[in-house]
Amino acid sequence: DIVMTQSPLSLPVTLGQPASISCRSSQSLVHSDGNIYLNWLQQRPGQSPRRLIYKVSNRDSGVPDRFSGSGSGTDFTLKISRVEAEDVGVYYCMQGTHWPFTFGQGTRLEIK
Amino acid sequence: QVQLVESGGGLVKPGGSLRLSCTASGFTFSDYSMSWIRQAPGKGPEWVSYIINSGTTIYYADSVKGRFTISRDNAKNSLYLQMNSLRAEDTAVYFCARGSLWGGDYWGQGTLVTVSS
């Protein structure tokens, strides 16, 4: 199985400051169709996961543009340009290239 | 708007069975692959199974293979998960989601399955 490793696992951030989460996969995530199915999901306290970013860098509808995704091969990053209170929660990277699809351990973002 | 509503969770004894349902609305169900993902208490999500739009291709996680069966009824806009030989480690909130490889663009609110004697 592909192992997804996130860092940091805990991320205290001051409101208005940037935040960055790293995700590394144990194998290349390039699918046979040429796409990279690396996705980022947010889970706010008590809620279902919600997808923010799909295929590395495509932001979902309704997701603020302060969220951005980047990366290639095996190294990927989620950036929040200015953290707001509503961003508190756990962030997961997830790969959909190889079955079984796998998630990172999650990064808990909190306000300092 | 897209809605996914899970049902069928509950308390079941080890070795027992449950059938989860997910009723979809707001989109053409037969156009999309669908997935079941679970999340044990305090843990990260685990992708359990997915089924393509026609139902002809199905994948299962090793942890549930041979015990769980995913199916869909496109005429009823519904996704199902038949869970047999349940174990304590199957205790989790079970979510249905639209899609698969791209992470599921819509998720339901989840239904709790508790396996305990």
Kindly report, residue by residue over A55-85, the tens digit of the pLDDT: 999 999 999 999 999 999 899 999 999 999 9
- In this prediction, residues A17-33 reach a mean pLDDT of 97
pLDDT given for residue B102 in this prediction? 85
B104 and B33 in contact (C-beta within 8 Å)? no
pLDDT given for residue A65 in this prediction? 96
A74 and A29 in contact (C-beta within 8 Å)? yes
A96 and B101 in contact (C-beta within 8 Å)? yes
pLDDT given for residue B101 in this prediction? 87
* Intervals of chain B under pLDDT 70: none
A79 and A93 in contact (C-beta within 8 Å)? no
**pLDDT per residue as tens digits for the range B19-45:** 999 999 999 999 999 999 999 999 999
Residues of B in contact with A51 (CB under 8 A): 102-105, 107
Return the closest-CA partner of residue A78 out of A98, A62, A58: A58
A7 CB near a chain B CB, below 8 Å? no
Residues of A in contact with B46 (CB under 8 A): 103
- Burial of residue B75 (CB within 10 Å: 0-12, 13-18, 19+) is exposed
Asked if A100 and B61 come within 8 Å (Cβ–Cβ), the reply is yes
- For the residues of B47-84, what is the DSSP string, one character each? EEEEE-TTS--EEE-TTTTTTEEEEEETTTTEEEEEE-
Tell me the shortest Cα–Cα distance from B13 to chain A, in angstroms.
26
- First and final C-alpha spacing in chain B: 40
Mutate: best of B47, B59, B101, B105, partner A, most A CBs <10 A: B101
**CA A93, CA B22: separation in Å to the nearest integer?**
25
**Beta strands, E only, chain A:** 4-7, 10-13, 19-25, 38-43, 50-54, 58-59, 67-72, 75-80, 89-95, 102-103, 107-111
Q: What radius of gyration do chain B's Cα atoms show?
A: 13
The residues in A 31-90 lying below 8 A from B, measured between CB atoms, are 31, 35, 37, 39-41, 48-51, 54-55, 60, 90
Tell me the shortest Cα–Cα distance from A89 to chain B, in angstroms.
12
